[in-house]
Amino acid sequence: MQKVMQGCNIKLDSVLTDIAGASGLAIIRGIIAGESDPEKLANLVRGRIKATRSALVDALRGRADAHTRFMLELHLDTYNDLQAKLARLEQKIDEALVPFADAVELLETIPGVAAELARIIVAEIGVDMSRFPTPGHLVSWAGLCPRLDESAGKVGSRKVLKGNKWLKTALSQGVWAALRCKKKNYFQAQFHRIKGRRDGRKATTAVAASILTAVHAMLTQAKPYRDLGNVYYLKRDKEKIVARLARQARELGYELQPQQAA
């Protein structure tokens, strides 16, 4: 649909984040119905959008002819058909996960783990953690730990292992969701700590492994997630931080005397 509109100079994707959203589909249906006035098409927007009214009107100045409207209607029918099939699949998934509803609800207490990710985790690893003697076994099975490639004292590749690609991809998305949480959490602190020493990709893998470690403990003990807090590392490394600050002060010619705050 976007390609068809681009061909007639309608730049809907430049003013809407998702042309398949409520506003985008309403405008597309308006074009299919034969409306060509950009002002009237702009009135079909539902709710608020980031683009200004003038930018929206300019983006809708195009030349949609009968062929364009036919192709848009054809693609829209395909889109609606796919959405209907997805809804049926979602219904089947919900029915299959009824026996595991408690486990899904339990996993949703983890920051960044919404209903969809919780269902994927349960679908990929199950709820019986006895098959994984330790959290490390589960993390290794998922391919979220570095390989041990060493021979004759020489250290080789440290790339992560191959594992369940569906689970790895879903957990990576969960990591980014946890980073965007308004409520500060342990995963945010862990990500920024590792990213400062290495890079974002390694930090994402490490946090995904931490999420899976928490999943193992939660499903084993049937207990909700308990967050360590975003100041966990700060508390753990307090003595090291104080020693480092004292050393830096001495290098500047000062003597630092640590004193407990009131």
Amino acid, single-letter form, for residue 165: K
Question: In whole angstroms, what is the distance from residue 123 CA to residue 234 CA?
Answer: 36
Q: What is the pLDDT of residue 144?
A: 85
Q: Are residues 167 and 208 in the same domain?
A: yes
Say what the pLDDT of residue 37 is: 92
Residue 184 has pLDDT above 60, yes or no: yes
pLDDT (0 to 100) of residue 235: 80
- Per DSSP, the residues of 191-245 read HHHHHHHS-HHHHHHHHHHHHHHHHHHHHHHT-------TTHHHHHTHHHHHHHH
How many CB atoms sit inside 10 A of residue 202's CB? 15
- Kindly state whether residues 140 and 51 are assigned to the same domain: no
Distance CA 125, CA 180 (A): 26
Residues 126 and 206 both lie in one domain: yes
Q: Could you report the per-residue pLDDT of 245-257, keeping only the tens digit for each? A: 888 888 999 888 8
185 and 126 inside one domain: yes
User: What average pLDDT score do residues 180-185 get?
Assistant: 90
How many CA atoms are closer than 13 Å to the CA of 53, on its beta-carbon side?
Answer: 5
- Kindly state the average pLDDT of the residues 14-31: 92
State whether 107 and 161 are in the same domain.
yes
- Judge whether residue 77 has pLDDT over 90: yes
Do 221 and 103 belong together in one domain?
yes
CA distances, 164 to each of 132, 139, 171, 204 (Å): 15, 10, 11, 16
Domain hosting residue 238, numbered range: 232-262
Give how many domains the chain has, as a whole number.
3
**Do 73 and 189 share a domain, yes or no?**
no
Same domain, 57 and 125: no
What is the spatial distance between Cα 34 and Cα 144, in angstroms, rounded to a whole number?
Answer: 53
Q: Is the pLDDT of residue 190 over 60?
A: yes
Q: Alpha carbon 214 to chain centroid distance?
A: 17
- For the chain, the distance separating the N- and C-terminal CA atoms, rounded to the nearest angstrom, is 65
pTM over 0.85: no
76 and 36 within one domain = yes
Task: Report CA-CA distances (Å) from 185 to 19, 126, 181.
Answer: 34, 26, 8
Does 247 share its domain with 260? yes
74 and 110 co-located in one domain: no
Backbone φ and ψ for 220, nearest 5 degrees, come out as -70, -45
